[in-house]
Structure 1
Amino acid sequence: MEALKTLKNMSIRQMLLQSLNFLLVLSSAFMFWKGLGLYHNTESPIVVVLSGSMEPAFYKGDILFLSNPKQVPIEIGDITVFKVEGRDIPIVHRVIRVHREAETNKQYLLTKGDNNEIHDRGLYNPGQMWVDKDDVVGRVKGYVPYVGMVTILLNEYPQVKFAVLGLMGIMIILSKE
C-alpha cells in the first residue's frame, strides 16, 4: 500500500526521470557488455556452462570469461567455446586435435568434453569432421564457480525472470532518488 501511495504522490516529471534512470542503467549494462566484447574480440565475453560435459574442469553453472585473439593459433589443450551452424547454444569443450590446411594455412579443430568418452564429431553437423577456427567464439581465460546457476534458473523458469525484472523496474520507479 505504501508503494501505491508513493506512486500517486509522484509527479509526471518524477516518473519520467525515474524511467530515464532505469533506461540509463539498462543501456550502461549493454554498453559495458559490448565494450568488453570488443576488447576481448569476442561476441560473447562471458558464458555460463550449461551441462556437465566438462567436469571436473567446469561444472554446470560456472561462469567462463572468454578471449579470442585472432593472431594467436589455437593449440591442443585449449578450452574453446564454439558455435555449430544451426544450433543456438555454443559448446564449451577442449581441443584434442588441430588440423591445418596446407594451401590456405586455415586451422581446423577436433574437440571433446572432458567428461565425454569420445570426440565431438557426433555434435557437429552431418559430414562435418572439424570445427573451423572462425566458428570459435573464444577461449576460456578464467571462471567463477556456480555463480551462473542464477542464469540457468532464470532461463528454466521464465516466470521468475519476468517477476525479478518487474520488481527491479518497480523499485527503480518508486525510489525517490
Structure 2
Amino acid sequence: MPKKLIKRFMPHPDALKDHKHLKMFGTLLHKPNLWHLNRRSAPGAFAVGLFMAWMPMPFQMVAAAALAIFFNVNLPVSVALVWITNPVTMPFLFYIAYQVGARLLGHTPQPFAFEASWQWLESSLATIGPPFMLGCLVLGVISAIVGFFVISNLWKYSVLFKWKNRATR
C-alpha cells in the first residue's frame, strides 16, 4: 500500500517543525493535514514536490514547504520530492528542460559548454535563459499533473484492493 511505504520514509513532524529553515512558518506548521497522509493530501503533495523539483532556484525545499502550507497538503512528501533534482540528476534534467523550451519557442537548441563563472551566467541568460525557464515551467506543470493523477489513482486502487480483500475474507 502506498500509504505504508510513504510513511516508512517520512520524518517525524516534530523534527520538521524544529528545522531551522521551516521555523519561519511558525504556527502555520500546526495544521494537521500537513502531517497526515490521506487521499487528498498525498496527491497534492506529489504535485507540489514535482513542480518545485523542476524550478531552478535556490531553497527549493523552503518554497515547496510554503506551497504545501498554502495548498494544505502533506509537507514532508512535498519537501522530499524536491530532491529528485539533486546535484547528480540536475544537469541531465535541466538539459532536457532547455531542449523542451527551445523546441516550444521554435529555436534550434544551441550547444554550450558550462563554466562556473558569473560572466558565463550573465552572457548565457540572454541566449539559453528563456528556453530553459519555459522548459522548466512546462515540465514542472506536466510532472505535477501526472504525479497528482498517478498518486490519486494508486490511492483509489489500493483502497479498492483492501475492500475486495476484506469482502473475500
TM range (shorter): under 0.3
The structure whose Rg is larger is 1
Which structure has greater strand proportion?
1
Which structure has greater helix proportion?
2
